[in-house]
């Protein structure tokens, strides 16, 4: 099929050219229209880009400036790697990071609390994991800033962390034999309410 034939066929399906170009093509479950060419279903945005802007290098994505997956307006399309596409999604606030992620057990407020406890107390990862009812691995990842990077906690922002507080925490953590305290003193957490 020639480019001219493909273009004519493609434009036949464009039903709106206001701002975003919309089509009457079948869309997948994510809202991306597909067009059949040579017995293959292809993303219509890729076809649009190729028809109006040029070739797409292998392994490169066609991304949307307008964040409308149904749009095939070539002026709204740009090329990018998978990493660039993901960065664009995060910068535009469309990612499921943090508490937006349906698998998340924590909220941003709780992660702020965890980061403050890690920075300003001598509480162990294990104790904090028990407090927040998550795994030690999760607390460890938070501590290493591998997850929840978007939640910032500045030292001394939530706890007074005076020498008296540090001594209480040191005494509590050093008391590991026999008379070990049952759980963290919950009064510390009330500072976040």
Q: What percent of the chain is predicted at pLDDT more than 90? A: 54
Task: Point out which residues pair with 181 in neighbouring strands.
Answer: none
Comparison of pLDDT for 2 and 60, the residue scoring more: 60
pLDDT beyond 80 at 158: no
DSSP for 87-100, please give it: HHHHHTT-S--GGG
Q: Cα–Cα distance between 127 and 181 in angstroms, integer?
A: 11
* Mean pLDDT (whole number) for 107-132: 92
What is the pLDDT at residue 163?
Answer: 39
What is the pLDDT at residue 72?
Answer: 97
Q: How confident is the model at residue 165 (pLDDT cuts 50, 70, 90)?
A: very low
- The CATH classification number of 3-95 equals 3.90.75.20
pLDDT beyond 50 at 40: yes
What is the pLDDT at residue 189?
Answer: 47
Q: Domain-by-domain residue ranges, the chain? A: 3-95, 99-192
| pLDDT tens digits, one per residue of 94-106 | 766 677 767 788 9
| pLDDT tens digits, one per residue of 63-88 | 999 989 999 999 999 999 999 988 88
* Mean pLDDT (whole number) for 175-187: 40
Backbone angles phi, psi at 32, to 5 degrees: -90, 120
């Amino acid at each position: 099929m020639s480019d001219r034939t493909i273009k004519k066929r493609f434009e036949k399906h464009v039903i709106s050219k206001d701002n975003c170009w919309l089509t009457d093509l079948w869309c997948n479950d994510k809202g991306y229209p597909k067009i059949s060419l040579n017995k293959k279903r292809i993303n219509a945005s890729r076809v649009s880009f190729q028809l109006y802007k040029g070739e797409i290098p292998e392994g490169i994505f066609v991304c949307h400036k307008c964040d409308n997956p149904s749009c095939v307006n070539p002026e709204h399309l740009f090329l990018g790697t998978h990493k660039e596409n993901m960065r664009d999604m995060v910068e535009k606030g469309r990612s499921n990071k943090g508490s937006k992620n349906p698998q998340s057990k924590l909220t941003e407020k709780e992660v702020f609390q965890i980061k403050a406890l890690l920075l300003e107390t001598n509480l162990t990862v294990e104790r904090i994991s028990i407090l927040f009812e998550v795994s030690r691995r999760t607390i460890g990842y938070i501590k290493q800033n591998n997850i929840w990077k978007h939640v910032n906690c500045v030292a001394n922002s939530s706890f007074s962390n005076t020498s008296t507080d540090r001594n209480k925490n040191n005494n509590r953590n050093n008391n590991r034999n026999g008379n070990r305290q049952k759980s963290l003193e919950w009064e510390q957490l009330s500072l976040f309410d």
